[in-house]
Amino acid sequence: MNDTAMAIPTTLLCGFLGSGKTTRINRMIGDGALKNALFLVNDFGSINIDAELIESREDSILRLNNGCACCGIAGNFSAQLRDIKRWEQRPEQLVFEASGIARPRPLMQLFDAAQGYALNVAESLIDASAFERHYRDPAIDDIFIAQIREVTRLRINRLNWLSAAQRDLITREIIAINPQATLIFEENFEESPGEPPPPMPAMNRTASGPLASRSVTLPRPIDVAALDALLASTATELVRAKGTVTANDTARTRYLVQFAGGRATRVATTAGKTQALVVIGHQGEALSAFIDALDAL
């Protein structure tokens, strides 16, 4: 058998922060369509896998009873790819989740050069409700546009949050950036379908400093209404926030908190053990004040 026949078919999943890559992976795992696949993910702890699907845990590798596996991305990615080919249970397919601020082309070139892998699909997810916000933000627009322009397939979600006129406009703008891409429209993408969260303020054009990332530990139960208000008041400075917190209510309810595309959501969860938020935003006094306020909750 030649090297091409033995190559592991690979899917590259790209998309800006909060575009829904984790939701996409959760669905790919949950629907059982892929067999003996390896999912290489950036945020291993965020993958929501039903307990009955888990067959075993081996260090950082989670093996499922449908033959699939999940693991985090190592520091030396090229070395990790070489190691995967030597696994006793060699995957028949690979799904790679790129960082939310990664440009697709260098990753596509890496897989093209990697022996034993065949890049079949390079796909970017686009949150239609956040398109205009990201497209007009001078701090991130080059990355956002590259994620649209450099792939062969675009999966556009959260369209149900928009009016028909908004959808038509955004679709035309996406096609203008990458007229050759195959477009897939997902009307009901959310894991918990329902009314969209209320829109946050439009992007403040002065919020254009370089991006900074901070991790804030919240070790004690907090006032989640105060957190909601804090996210709303700093919406123009934030690009992404994600994490789990415990409320100071009687039940000590745990919540998955997310901020993306100018909107914040908070959903009760039993997953995860950490109590922290990872925050990405425009560097400056406003973001620093937001971090200080989080610490004070």
Q: What is the mean pLDDT of residues 37-47?
A: 68
Do residues 11 and 121 lie in contact, with contact meaning Cβ atoms separated by under 8 Å? yes
% the chain with pLDDT above 90: 36
Is the alpha carbon torsion for 104, 108, 114, 116 positive or negative?
positive
Helices (H) and strands (E) in the chain, counts: 9, 14
111: amino acid identity, one letter: F
Q: 122-126, 177-181, 265-269: which range is least confident on average?
A: 265-269
For residue 210, is pLDDT > 60? Answer: yes
Give the architecture-level CATH label for domain 3-185: 3-Layer(aba) Sandwich (3.40)
Q: What is the mean pLDDT of residues 179-194?
A: 76
Confidence tier at 135 by pLDDT (50, 70, 90): very high
CATH 3.30.1220.10 applies to domain 211-296: yes
Confidence tier at 272 by pLDDT (50, 70, 90): low
- Domain segments of the chain as ranges: 3-185, 211-296
Confidence tier at 86 by pLDDT (50, 70, 90): confident
pTM summary value:
0.80
Distance CA 96, CA 73 (A): 9
